[in-house]
Structure formats: C-alpha cells, structure tokens
Amino acid sequence: MDEVVVEYIRRTVLKIPRDEIMAVLQKWGFLSEAQLQTINFRQTKESISHSVAQLCEESSANIKQAALLDIIYNHIYPNKRAWSVYHMNKTGEETDFFDFRDFKKKFRRQIQSALINVTINFREYEDNAIWIRIAWGTPYTKPNQYKTSYVVYHSQTPYVFISASTLRSNLPLLCQAMVVASNYYNIREMELRSHCLNSLKDIVFKRYSQNFQTNYPLQERNVLTENEDLRINDENRSEKERIHRLNQECFGDGPQPKLDFAQYKLETMFKSDPKWDVLEKKEPFRCLVKFSSPHLLESLKSLAPAGLADAPLSPLLTCIPQKARNYFKIREKKSLHPGSFVSP
C-alpha cells in the first residue's frame, strides 16, 4: 500500500510545472517547511519528484494525504479535465440549511451501498465550492487511484459540475449519490460541456456580461483608436461601426466565457436558389456542424469584423451563454394552423 501511495504522489508532482511545485506542496501542507527546504528545485522534474517521494515515504504518507494532493492539483489546474454540467431539481421551495457533515455521510453511504471499493475525499473551499474526489474500483478489485471522477458542487445552487473521466458507467451512481446527499429530487445533464470549469460556472451563474437590448442607442464609440493618422481615410467607417455595435449587442462588453466547441445537429429542410434547379426533398437535410476553438465565443465574435460573417451573427451562435448549452438539435419551425396544438 505504501509504495502505491508514494508512487501516486510522485506522479502527481510530475504533472505540476516545475516552477510551481513548491507552492503546490506548501498548499498541501503535508511536508513541513523544513522538509521542503531540503529539496533542490533546480533539478529536473523527474529528480524533484523522487525527492518528494522519498520525503513522503519517510513521513508515512497515507492514501488520504495523496488524495488531498490530487484534489489540490485539480483545483489549481481544472482545465486539464473535461467538465459537464448537471442541474438538480427540488420539489418544494424551502432552502434547507446545508450541513456539510450530513452531506458527506449520505454521499459516502449512497456510493458504498452499491460499490464498496472506492476512495472518496472531500474538500470545501472559500467560495462554498465542495470538491469531491472519487477513485473507482470494481466489486473485486481495490480502488484504482488513477481512475478518478471529480464533482464540484456549490451548495447554494442546484448546479453540479462533473468530470467523469474514464469510467462513465459509474456516472448514474454518482448522480444518484449527489441527489440523495443534497436533498434534491432529481438530476439531469445539461447540454453544456467544456474544459474551462470557471467559464462553465460563469455561464450558469450568469457571471459574464450579458448582452442587453436597450431602447436607447448605444453611444457611438470611436472604433479606430490605433491609427490616428488623419491621412488614412476609412471608406467603410460607418459599416465597421455598425458591425461593432451589433456585435456589442449580441455578445456584451466584457470577456466571453471560455468554451472549446459548440455542436449543432441540423434537421432542417434544404432550401436553395431556384435558378440552380436542385434538390427538392420533403425530408430534412441532415447535417452535423461542429465549431472548435481555443476560445470559441471570442472567435465567433471576431468573425463579422473580419468580414467572414454577417452582423448580427446568427442567434444559434449568440444564444450559447444565455441558453447555457453547447449541444443543439435544430429542427425547422413549423407554421401554426389555427386550432392546432403545439406540444412543448
């Protein structure tokens, strides 16, 4: 057991950028300041990791401490994992007082009633975020510390952020445990996924600057601040400013939440210019469109000013933060006949 734990700690340290290892170990607090001083941080990462492992072995580090280091690592570098967002529903209106100890007990009990071979650790942070780390085993094998799922839960909200990683088959058990432990009624997966955990939080907690429709025209701002050379005359000045203004209305003023992609399943009809004399099908033209970028919304925002898209950009794209989703299924809007029912 000790060797496994020490090796696991060593591999966790290897993941950390060299210049930040000291700070992370200090946050962890397992090794004393005196012990940390003995490590030569100018070695290669490989050597540093061995030094740390040596110290941990001497200090008899156990699985709980190793798990804590992993939580701290993932809390500092959450963008290494892919996160999905879940929403929980309550039956009544009451907001129960959140009892952390009770939550932990119920969560643990729910998981272990189905699968005893798990390692579960909790850590509460200042912003009311609870981080839960689960290392999964099977009915016949001990928990594999390298096969982990993470849950981030803000107790004052109905949102849960889950990074299931490899073992998706345990997801239903995980969701059930969340619902029971937090005294909610049910849980459903939202169509919202990204590597940037903070951006997902920004979107669901509405912490980004939203677009707004005003009845007053936005102040005309001078877009061209860089080139103050008056000899350069911008032929398209008014068009540029129009695009800029419409972009502001769609995307708002501030920085956009960071998403990696958006996916659209299109099941709409194919309509074309009659002069081409082509496809006139009665069935939908089935397509799958996927936009990918290191920072999707900023990228989309720059399309119209770059001349690659019309302004305003399609609401299918601009609605992503408000609708809190990046997976869409688009069907043709059907025209309403009087007297017919429209199912929700």
Judged by the rule CB under 8 A, the positions of this chain that interact with other proteins are 264, 266, 268, 270-273, 276-281, 285-296, 298-300, 302-303, 306-310, 312-314, 316-317, 330
Q: Which of 79, 181, 56 is nearest to 122 (CA)?
A: 181
- Which is nearer to other proteins, 192 or 300 (by Cβ)? 300
- Which is nearer to other proteins, 47 or 268 (by Cβ)? 268
Q: Are 135 and 79 in contact (CB under 8 A)?
A: no
Please give the C-alpha separations between residue 39 and each of 53, 70, 77, 109, in angstroms, as whole numbers: 11, 20, 23, 40
Q: How far apart are CA 320 and CA 108, in angstroms?
A: 35
Min dist. Cβ of residue 276 to other proteins (A)? 5
Min dist. Cβ of residue 279 to other proteins (A)? 5
- Which is nearer to other proteins, 137 or 255 (by Cβ)? 255
Q: How far apart are CA 233 and CA 241, in angstroms?
A: 14
- Rounded to 10 deg, the angle between the 21-28 and 45-58 helix axes is 20
Min dist. Cβ of residue 277 to other proteins (A)? 8
DSSP 219: P
- Which is nearer to other proteins, 7 or 298 (by Cβ)? 298
Please give the C-alpha separations between residue 156 and each of 93, 125, 152, 153, in angstroms, as whole numbers: 13, 13, 12, 9
Min dist. Cβ of residue 296 to other proteins (A)? 8
Min dist. Cβ of residue 302 to other proteins (A)? 5
- Which is nearer to other proteins, 99 or 239 (by Cβ)? 239
